[in-house]
């Protein structure tokens, strides 16, 4: 599984329909699981980003598909970070030529 951190900002449309955000959140969680992934956690935040979500999905293609689906609804803009566990990062560093 690949790990991703999703940094999310409301669009004008998304904030105007804020009361629907709970249903959108649940729908996204179900989409991750349907795609063979795991929803690790989601956090409503304040500051630069409005929501931070952590997911594990099988690969980059699944992550991109999920983000395109979310983005096309027009309620949020996302920044997606591919993340590596500490162990994964240390192995990559260890294997440097």
The fold of 2-94 is Alpha-Beta Plaits (3.30.70)
The residue among 88, 81, 12, 1 whose CA lies nearest residue 39 is 1
Please tell me the pTM assigned to this model: 0.91
* C-alpha closest to that of 2 among 86, 62, 75: 62
pLDDT confidence of residue 28: 96
pLDDT tens per residue across all 97 residues of the chain = 999 999 999 999 999 999 999 999 999 999 999 999 999 999 999 999 999 999 999 999 999 999 999 999 999 999 999 999 999 999 999 999 9
| Cβ-contact 80, 66 below 8 angstroms | no
Query: What are the extents of the domains in the chain?
Result: 2-94
């Amino acid at each position: 599984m690949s790990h991703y951190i999703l940094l999310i900002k409301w669009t004008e449309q998304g904030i105007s329909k804020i009361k629907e955000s709970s249903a959108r959140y649940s729908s996204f969680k179900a989409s991750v699981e349907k795609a063979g992934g795991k929803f690790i956690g989601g956090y409503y935040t304040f500051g630069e980003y409005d929501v931070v979500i952590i997911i594990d999905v099988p690969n980059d293609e699944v992550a991109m598909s999920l983000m395109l689906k979310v983005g096309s609804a027009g309620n949020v803009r996302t920044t997606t970070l591919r993340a590596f566990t500490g162990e994964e990062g240390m192995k990559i560093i260890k294997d440097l030529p």
